[in-house]
Amino acid sequence: MAKTKVDKDLIRELAALMEETGLSEIEIERDDDRMRLVRATAPIAPVIAVPTAAPTAAGAVAAPAPAGDGSGDLSAHPGAVPSPLVGTAYHSASPDAAPFVKVGDQISAGQTLLVIEAMKTFNEIPAPKSGVVTQILFDNATPVEYGDILMIVE
Protein backbone atom coordinates (compact mmCIF):
# COMPACT_ATOMS: atom_id res chain seq x y z
CA MET A 1 0.00 0.00 0.00
CA ALA A 2 1.72 3.14 -1.19
CA LYS A 3 2.23 5.61 1.56
CA THR A 4 0.70 8.40 -0.39
CA LYS A 5 -2.46 6.50 -0.73
CA VAL A 6 -3.28 6.32 2.94
CA ASP A 7 -6.33 8.41 3.36
CA LYS A 8 -5.93 10.01 6.74
CA ASP A 9 -9.17 11.87 6.46
CA LEU A 10 -10.93 8.59 5.87
CA ILE A 11 -9.30 7.21 9.01
CA ARG A 12 -10.46 10.23 10.94
CA GLU A 13 -13.95 9.89 9.58
CA LEU A 14 -14.11 6.21 10.31
CA ALA A 15 -12.75 6.79 13.82
CA ALA A 16 -15.48 9.34 14.42
CA LEU A 17 -17.97 6.87 13.05
CA MET A 18 -16.72 4.22 15.45
CA GLU A 19 -17.10 6.63 18.30
CA GLU A 20 -20.59 7.48 17.17
CA THR A 21 -21.73 3.92 16.63
CA GLY A 22 -19.86 2.32 19.49
CA LEU A 23 -18.06 -0.04 17.15
CA SER A 24 -14.71 -1.34 18.31
CA GLU A 25 -13.34 -2.56 15.03
CA ILE A 26 -13.81 -1.82 11.35
CA GLU A 27 -12.08 -3.68 8.59
CA ILE A 28 -12.53 -2.79 4.97
CA GLU A 29 -11.01 -4.63 2.06
CA ARG A 30 -11.30 -3.67 -1.54
CA ASP A 31 -9.25 -4.85 -4.44
CA ASP A 32 -5.77 -4.85 -3.04
CA ASP A 33 -6.48 -2.39 -0.29
CA ARG A 34 -7.28 -3.40 3.20
CA MET A 35 -7.83 -1.16 6.19
CA ARG A 36 -8.49 -2.19 9.76
CA LEU A 37 -9.33 0.22 12.60
CA VAL A 38 -9.55 -0.83 16.21
CA ARG A 39 -10.75 1.26 19.12
CA ALA A 40 -9.51 0.11 22.53
CA THR A 41 -12.40 -1.55 24.32
CA ALA A 42 -11.66 0.73 27.20
CA PRO A 43 -9.92 -0.14 30.43
CA ILE A 44 -12.82 -2.20 31.61
CA ALA A 45 -11.69 -4.14 34.63
CA PRO A 46 -12.67 -7.77 34.80
CA VAL A 47 -15.93 -8.51 36.51
CA ILE A 48 -14.51 -11.36 38.48
CA ALA A 49 -14.06 -10.08 41.94
CA VAL A 50 -12.17 -12.55 44.03
CA PRO A 51 -12.22 -12.20 47.80
CA THR A 52 -8.51 -11.61 47.87
CA ALA A 53 -8.31 -11.12 51.59
CA ALA A 54 -9.37 -14.70 52.08
CA PRO A 55 -6.72 -16.79 53.74
CA THR A 56 -5.15 -18.88 51.07
CA ALA A 57 -3.99 -21.81 53.12
CA ALA A 58 -6.59 -23.76 51.19
CA GLY A 59 -5.26 -26.58 49.14
CA ALA A 60 -1.92 -26.52 50.87
CA VAL A 61 -2.20 -29.88 52.46
CA ALA A 62 -2.68 -32.31 49.69
CA ALA A 63 -0.54 -30.82 47.00
CA PRO A 64 1.44 -33.50 45.25
CA ALA A 65 4.98 -33.34 46.43
CA PRO A 66 8.10 -33.07 44.29
CA ALA A 67 7.09 -31.86 40.89
CA GLY A 68 3.85 -30.71 42.39
CA ASP A 69 4.31 -27.14 41.28
CA GLY A 70 4.20 -28.21 37.71
CA SER A 71 1.11 -30.34 37.98
CA GLY A 72 -1.19 -27.43 37.22
CA ASP A 73 0.53 -26.90 33.91
CA LEU A 74 0.68 -30.60 33.18
CA SER A 75 -3.04 -31.22 33.57
CA ALA A 76 -3.58 -30.54 29.89
CA HIS A 77 -0.68 -32.79 28.92
CA PRO A 78 -1.91 -35.57 26.63
CA GLY A 79 0.01 -38.15 28.65
CA ALA A 80 -1.17 -36.96 32.05
CA VAL A 81 -2.45 -39.59 34.49
CA PRO A 82 -4.79 -37.83 36.92
CA SER A 83 -5.67 -39.27 40.27
CA PRO A 84 -9.12 -40.86 40.11
CA LEU A 85 -9.57 -40.56 43.86
CA VAL A 86 -8.32 -38.92 47.00
CA GLY A 87 -6.00 -40.87 49.26
CA THR A 88 -2.41 -41.73 49.92
CA ALA A 89 -0.35 -42.69 46.88
CA TYR A 90 2.39 -45.31 46.91
CA HIS A 91 5.08 -46.17 44.37
CA SER A 92 5.02 -49.82 45.33
CA ALA A 93 2.74 -52.51 46.72
CA SER A 94 4.63 -52.64 50.01
CA PRO A 95 7.55 -50.82 51.60
CA ASP A 96 9.96 -53.60 50.62
CA ALA A 97 8.67 -54.16 47.13
CA ALA A 98 10.09 -52.58 44.03
CA PRO A 99 8.18 -49.64 42.58
CA PHE A 100 5.55 -50.55 40.01
CA VAL A 101 7.20 -48.31 37.44
CA LYS A 102 10.20 -46.01 37.10
CA VAL A 103 10.83 -43.08 34.82
CA GLY A 104 11.88 -44.46 31.45
CA ASP A 105 9.92 -47.69 31.76
CA GLN A 106 8.04 -48.90 28.72
CA ILE A 107 4.56 -49.82 29.90
CA SER A 108 1.39 -51.19 28.42
CA ALA A 109 -2.15 -49.98 28.89
CA GLY A 110 -3.79 -51.48 31.95
CA GLN A 111 -0.54 -52.14 33.75
CA THR A 112 -0.55 -50.98 37.40
CA LEU A 113 1.28 -47.68 37.81
CA LEU A 114 0.77 -47.09 41.51
CA VAL A 115 -1.64 -47.74 44.37
CA ILE A 116 -3.75 -45.24 46.24
CA GLU A 117 -4.88 -46.12 49.70
CA ALA A 118 -8.22 -44.86 50.90
CA MET A 119 -10.14 -46.29 53.84
CA LYS A 120 -7.58 -49.06 54.36
CA THR A 121 -8.11 -50.20 50.79
CA PHE A 122 -5.32 -50.18 48.24
CA ASN A 123 -6.61 -49.18 44.84
CA GLU A 124 -4.43 -50.13 41.91
CA ILE A 125 -4.24 -47.38 39.34
CA PRO A 126 -3.80 -48.80 35.83
CA ALA A 127 -2.02 -47.13 32.93
CA PRO A 128 -4.58 -45.42 30.68
CA LYS A 129 -2.45 -46.21 27.61
CA SER A 130 0.80 -47.79 26.51
CA GLY A 131 3.95 -45.71 26.35
CA VAL A 132 6.96 -44.61 28.31
CA VAL A 133 6.78 -43.17 31.83
CA THR A 134 8.43 -39.79 31.44
CA GLN A 135 7.58 -38.21 34.78
CA ILE A 136 6.47 -39.36 38.21
CA LEU A 137 4.93 -36.44 40.01
CA PHE A 138 4.31 -37.65 43.54
CA ASP A 139 6.48 -38.76 46.41
CA ASN A 140 5.97 -42.18 47.89
CA ALA A 141 3.36 -42.37 50.66
CA THR A 142 2.06 -38.84 50.21
CA PRO A 143 -1.54 -37.63 50.00
CA VAL A 144 -3.07 -36.87 46.63
CA GLU A 145 -6.32 -35.14 45.77
CA TYR A 146 -8.81 -36.06 43.09
CA GLY A 147 -7.49 -34.78 39.78
CA ASP A 148 -3.86 -34.35 40.83
CA ILE A 149 -1.55 -35.36 37.97
CA LEU A 150 0.38 -38.41 39.16
CA MET A 151 2.48 -39.37 36.14
CA ILE A 152 3.11 -38.55 32.54
CA VAL A 153 3.04 -41.45 30.08
CA GLU A 154 4.12 -40.63 26.53
Partner 1 sequence: MFEKVLIANRGEIALRLHRACREMGIRTVAIHSTADADAMHVRLADEAVCIGPPPAIDSYLNIPSILAAAEITGSEGIHPGYGFLSENAEFAHIVEEHGYTFIGPSEQHIRTMGDKIQAKQTVKGLGIPVVPGSDGEVTDPEEAKALAADMGYPVLIKAASGGGGRGMKLVRRADEFATALEACRTESKAAFNDDAVYLEKYLEQPRHIEVQVIGDGTGKVVHLGERDCSLQRRNQKVLEEAPSPALNDAVRKAIGQTVVDALSKIKYTSLGTVEFLYENGEFYFIEMNTRLQVEHPVTEAITGIDLVREQIRIAAGAPLSFSQEDIRFSGHAIECRINAEHPKTFVPSPGQVGDFHAPGGLGVRVDSGLYAGYRIPPYYDSLIAKLVVHGTTRNDCLMRLNRALGEFVVDGIEVNIPLHTDLIQEQDFIDGDYHIHWLEQFLEQQD
Q: Who's near 52: CB < 8 A, 6+ residues apart? A: none
Q: How far is the CB of 80 from partner 1 (least distance, A)?
A: 14
Residue 2 within binding range of partner 1, rule CB under 8 A: no
Q: How far is the CB of 101 from a copy of itself (least distance, A)?
A: 36
d(CA 38, CA 13): 13
In the complex with a copy of itself, the residue whose CB is nearer, 39 or 77, is: 39
52 binds, among a copy of itself, partner 1, none (CB under 5 to 8 A by kind): partner 1
Angle at 39 between CA 37 and CA 40, to 5 degrees: 140
Which of 34, 69, 72, 102 is the binder for a copy of itself (CB under 8 A)? 34
Q: How far is the CB of 60 from partner 1 (least distance, A)?
A: 6
In the complex with a copy of itself, the residue whose CB is nearer, 43 or 55, is: 43
In angstroms, the Cα distances linking 127 to 54, 82, 117 are 38, 10, 17
